[in-house]
Amino acid sequence: MKTKSIVSLALCLLLVPVTLFAQISRNQSVSSPQVRPGGEVTFRLKAPYAKNVEISAQFLKGNQPLQKDSNGVWSITLGPVKPDIYPYNFIVDGTSVSDPTNTYLFPNENFKASLVEIPAEQPLLSSMQNVEHGKVTYCYYPSETLKCTRPLVIYTPPGYDGDNTKYPVLYLVSGTTDTEETWFKVGRANLILDNLIAQKKAVPMIIVMPYGNMLTGTPAPSTLQAADMYKVFSNDMTKSIIPYVEKNFRAIPDRESRAIAGFSRGGGQSLFTGFIHLDQFAWIGSYSAYLTNEVWDKYFSALSAKPEETNKKLRLLWMGVGNEDFLYKDAVKFIDLMKEKNINYKSLITDGGHTWMNSRHYLSETMQLYFKK
Amino acid sequence: MKTKSIVSLALCLLLVPVTLFAQISRNQSVSSPQVRPGGEVTFRLKAPYAKNVEISAQFLKGNQPLQKDSNGVWSITLGPVKPDIYPYNFIVDGTSVSDPTNTYLFPNENFKASLVEIPAEQPLLSSMQNVEHGKVTYCYYPSETLKCTRPLVIYTPPGYDGDNTKYPVLYLVSGTTDTEETWFKVGRANLILDNLIAQKKAVPMIIVMPYGNMLTGTPAPSTLQAADMYKVFSNDMTKSIIPYVEKNFRAIPDRESRAIAGFSRGGGQSLFTGFIHLDQFAWIGSYSAYLTNEVWDKYFSALSAKPEETNKKLRLLWMGVGNEDFLYKDAVKFIDLMKEKNINYKSLITDGGHTWMNSRHYLSETMQLYFKK
């Protein structure tokens, strides 16, 4: 324990990420995950009665078995792992379990995963660095559309409280089974933007993170049924969320100063909302998402009938997807549709799958484009 | 699923708590916990390979076994349960597991528990009600004492953003193994104060929730070793936290407008910090905590030598503890010490143990006293 405290303090002196610091230095009987310089990481779980413990981690292709010691502590050392932030969980005799001694959790409706950060020599864009930090605020808005109080998580950039400047707003929507906290806790939207602002690579902006679940069940992505759900979302966005934000935060209230983007279901919601309200949004980002030809034809044929007019309004349509994503083919089909319809766009095909590692990557790329002249 | 959506929507219409709404209406394959009018609650866990599943809940005296159905879903219906918010977890073949389909988690360093809210006919003070809501902001301060970036969670009351008023500040410290999120997510300090402000029972105030872990290990409560840790905390509070808060938030910068209170270890830290910095704090709250005679004699004999002078400075010393708390005898001994030393105080002995149900109760009582003339 003494060695651990010294290691913690040394790390603390280096201004390491709060979350990494949290993972390593909070007091606990079993330390997990333990990340070593170079990217090796040891996971541990005290489970003296378990017969079999495995780990599932998004840097692994399959599950790996842990070994039990005489104190009933199971462990495994893996890596070196490529620097990034990865979800993982244990599987104890067939049941998924988050890491009990890791406070860094993945907010989700359907599973409880933990997160591990593997730091890089050059700090990750998503790591806490020694720069000025914005604030992340939890607040509640009255949803006229859903007739209830709903949560919003809102980032304001460094300096926001010290001036009277108005800022552009990125509305950033998370995916199916995610919550309003996921872009903050897993997506690290706040730290990525802190770092990009410090590097003068992004415009200071407000980020609004709503809860994307419209209580309509989970229709298949981008079907006409999904479009019905997107409509509910669009209504909530324009009738309740935007008015709440522009009343309570110093947001520039014009379309050129509003972007909408999201991951997975949130990407579908963003494409639909952005296109159906081009009067309200000029910037659209789709991370690992798409609309079907069917949805496009039903709702947006007027936009592709006059592409020049549409392109004048659309300051950016950005689409990114990983080549191992289970939505890869559909997303590429939508990119092809935009090409065919002469709608201007930027696209990025990366390695990897339908992951938050990719989602953060796409956010990092697009934050450098939004609201630029 | 359809029935569930309708139930969700109906509940949503009633402006139920976001967290309750979250528990019930987020999409998931297995619904847990399911709270029924009257206070019965069903817990479910899909664990087809488990041999034995039990539930541990803070409204139960011992663990209760769940029954498995043919789909591998284990369940148990309990209650009626007295309205409150309770931590619980499953025990799957001896391993503690949070509820995978419940997004409402207990932030903690050592365990992962879920939370269930049992609503009352007259809404709980800690429930989301149809009143104006303050905001809860996550931010980072540079800790001179600990030489690193540390997190703070800060509540600002309704109206804060619309005026230039300055507010008094309650510094509110959580307990051993808790994190800076625990007073927000489990303690519901924000909702309790929203409701008390709406009922005109509390003064609008800022609440600052620091991370109480000083990276010094976990000395036995209130020993001289613990006092060494309290000193580190006090230094961090006065040298870094208060200056950060008063620079970045509209806080009234005088002792009459600063209270410090906490639960468990946070109560010890608050008693020590409040007494050692009576120049900075006029209001002290101890929830399920105490200082030993030894610590008092070493650090505070000057205060008890001139009780009249001390009482003039001390606008409130409030101490609450439950008669089943494992610290009950020690806490009562400290109350007796204050009596013997002629230090003015208010105390409250309740039923119950060392729980967040009591902690919220004590917070609710004291928030009605802090900063009143």
**DSSP assignment of B264-283, as one string?**
THHHHHHHHHHHHTTTT-SE
The tokens describing B323, both together, are 């008669």
Pair A160, A174: CB distance under 8 Å: no
Q: Is the pLDDT of residue B16 over 50?
A: no
Q: What is the per-residue pLDDT for A224? A: 87
Distance from CA of A11 to the nearest CA of B (A): 9
Q: B125 in a domain, yes or no?
A: no
Residues in chain A within 8 Å Cβ distance of B140: 18, 128, 133
- The answer to whether B98 contacts A96, with C-beta atoms less than 8 Å apart, is no
- The rounded Cα A279 to chain-centroid distance in angstroms is 26
User: Which domain-ending residue is among B118, B146, B168?
Assistant: B118
Chain A nearest-CA distance from B194, in A, is 12
- Is residue A49 one of the residues assigned to a domain? yes
Does B124 reside within a domain? no
Hey, are the CB atoms on A95 and B96 less than 8 Å from each other?
no
Last residue of a domain, one of B118, B152, B186: B118
How far apart, in whole angstroms, are the C-alpha atoms of residue B34 and residue B32? 5
Contact A27 B109 (CB under 8 A): yes
Contact B9 A48 (CB under 8 A): no
Same domain, B339 and B229: yes
Instruction: Report yes or no on B21 lying in a domain.
Output: yes
Q: What's the half-sphere exposure (Cβ side, CA atoms, 13 Å) at A192?
A: 23
The number of folded domains in chain A is 2
Q: Are residues B202 and B110 in the same domain?
A: no
Report whether A239 contacts A332 (CB < 8 A): no
pLDDT value, residue B79: 93
pLDDT at B337: 98
- For residue A129, give the chain B residue with the closest CA: B149
With CB atoms and an 8 Å threshold, state whether B92 touches A93.
yes
Which two three-digit tokens encode residue A226? 């999904």
Interface test with B, best of A28, A91, A92, A240 (most B CBs within 10 A): A92
**Helix/strand/coil for A72:** coil
> Cα-atom radius of gyration of chain B, to the nearest Å?
22
A252 and A164 in a single domain? The answer is: yes
- Residues in chain B with CB shorter than 8 Å from the CB of A107 are 103
Given a cut of 80, whether residue A90 has pLDDT beyond it is yes
Residue A246's domain comprises 135-367
pLDDT in tens, A325-342: 999 999 999 999 999 999
Question: What tokens appear for B146 in the block?
Answer: 């600990």
Cis bond before residue A33 (omega within 30° of 0): yes
**Do A38 and A149 have their domain in common?**
no
- What integer pLDDT is reported at residue B221 of this predicted model? 72
By the 8 A CB rule, do A24 and A51 touch?
no
- The number of C-beta contacts closer than 8 angstroms across A and B is 177
Mutate to test the interface with A, among B46, B140, B144 (most CBs of A within 10 A): B140
| H-state helical runs in B306-355 | 307-313, 328-340
CA distance A30 to A47: 11
B67-68, strands of its sheet edge to edge: B34-35, B41-46, B73-78, B67-68
B159 and B207 fall within a common domain: yes
Residues B350 and B252 in one domain: yes
Q: Residue B93: pLDDT above 90?
A: no
Q: Which residue of A has its CA nearest to B49?
A: A94
Q: What are A198-247's pLDDT values in tens digits? A: 999 999 999 999 999 998 877 777 788 889 999 999 999 999 999 999 99
Burial of A353: CB neighbours in 10 Å, binned 0-12, 13-18, 19+: middle
Q: Which residues contact B235 (CB under 8 A, 6 or more apart)?
A: B145
Residues of chain A found within 8 Å of residue B217, distances taken between Cβ atoms: 1, 5, 27
Q: What angle do CA B135, B141, B144 make, to 5 degrees?
A: 155
Mean pLDDT, residues B22-32 taken together: 55
Chain-chain contact of A27 with B218 (C-beta, under 8 angstroms): yes
* SS3 at position B166: coil
| Residue B172 and residue B208 in contact, taking contact as beta carbons nearer than 8 Å | yes
Alpha carbon distances (Å) from B2 to A218, A302, B98: 11, 35, 26
Interface test with A, best of B3, B93, B184 (most A CBs within 10 A): B93
A161 or A269: whose pLDDT is higher?
Answer: A269
> Position of tokens 């800076």?
B180
Task: Please say if the pLDDT value at position B161 is more than 50.
Answer: yes
Separation of CA A168 from chain center: 19
Type and span of the H or E element at B55:
strand B53-57
B91, B118, B145 - which closes a domain: B118
Which one has a higher pLDDT value, A16 or A207? A207
Question: Would you place residue A94 in the very low, low, confident or very high pLDDT band (cuts 50, 70, 90)?
Answer: confident
Handedness of CA B366, B368, B371, B373 (dihedral sign): negative
- Name B92's bridge partners: B53, B95
Which tens digit of pLDDT belongs to each residue from A108-128? Answer: 998 889 999 999 999 999 999
CA distance A216 to A366: 30
pLDDT band at A190 (very low <50, low <70, confident <90, very high): very high
Mean pLDDT of B23-35: 66
Q: Please indicate, yes or no, if residue B130 is contained in any of the structural domains.
A: no
- B12 interaction partners in chain A (CB closer than 8 Å): 146-148, 215
3-state helix, strand, coil in chain A (%, to 5): 35, 25, 40
Residues A56 and A178 in one domain: no
Q: How far is B259 from chain A (nearest CA, A)?
A: 23
Q: Does residue A243 belong to any structural domain of this protein? A: yes
Contacts of A16 in chain B (CB under 8 A): 148
B148 contacts in A (CB within 8 Å)? 12-13, 15-16, 21
Reported as a pLDDT band with limits 50, 70 and 90, residue A163 is confident
CB-closest option in A107, A135, A151 to B139 = A135
**Residue B110: which of A92, A101, A161 has the nearest Cβ?**
A101
Give yes or no: residues B100 and B225 share one domain: no
Q: Is A254 exposed, middle or buried (0-12, 13-18, 19+ CB in 10 A)?
A: exposed
CATH number at residue A196: 3.40.50.1820
Question: Among partner residues B51, B97, B128, which is closest to A97 by beta-carbon distance?
Answer: B97
Q: CA of A162, closest CA in chain B: separation in Å?
A: 8
Q: Which of A15, A93, A100 sits opposite B148 (nearest CB)?
A: A15
The residue type of B200 is K
Task: Decide if pLDDT at A272 tops 80.
Answer: yes
B144 and B253 assigned to the same domain: yes
Specify if B128 maps to a domain.
Answer: no
User: Residue A10's pLDDT band (boundaries 50, 70, 90)?
Assistant: very low
Whether residue A131 is predicted with pLDDT greater than 60 in this model: the reply is yes
Tell me the CATH number at A102.
2.60.40.10
Predicted-complex ipTM score: 0.89
Mean pLDDT of chain A: 91
If asked whether residues A176 and A265 sit together in one domain, one would say yes
Q: Which residues of B touch A108 (CB under 8 A)?
A: 103
Q: Which two tokens stand for residue B305?
A: 């030598």
Which residue of chain B is at minimal alpha-carbon distance from A94?
B49
If asked whether residues B164 and B75 sit together in one domain, one would say no
Q: What is the mean pLDDT of chain B?
A: 91
Write the pLDDT tens digit of every residue in B98-141.
999 999 999 999 888 999 999 999 999 999 999 999 999 999 99
Same domain for B242 and B109, yes or no, is no
| A92 vs B26, B92, B107: nearest CB | B92
Residue A109 CA: distances (Å) to CA of B30, B49, B135: 10, 22, 23
DSSP assignment, residue A161? Answer: G
Contact criterion met (CB < 8 Å) for B29 and A150? no
Tell if the CB–CB gap between B93 and A49 is shorter than 8 Å: yes
Query: What DSSP assignment string belongs to B76-124?
Result: EEE-PPPSEEEEEEEEETTEEE--TT---EE-BSS--EEEEEE--SSPP
Please tell me which of the candidates A49, A161, A184 has its beta carbon nearest to residue B94: A49
pLDDT digits (tens, 9 = 90+) for B249-306: 999 999 999 999 999 999 999 999 999 999 999 999 999 999 999 999 999 999 999 9
For A88, B64, B119, the CA distances from B76, given in Å and listed in that order, are 29, 8, 19
Give me the residue from B47, B96, B112 closest to A94, CB to CB: B47
> Would you say residue B93 lies in a domain?
yes
Tokens of A315: 């300051």
With bands split at pLDDT 50, 70 and 90, how would you rate the model's confidence at A21? Answer: very low
- Nearest chain A Cα to B45, which residue? A95
Phi first, then psi: give them for residue A247, nearest 5 degrees.
-85, -35
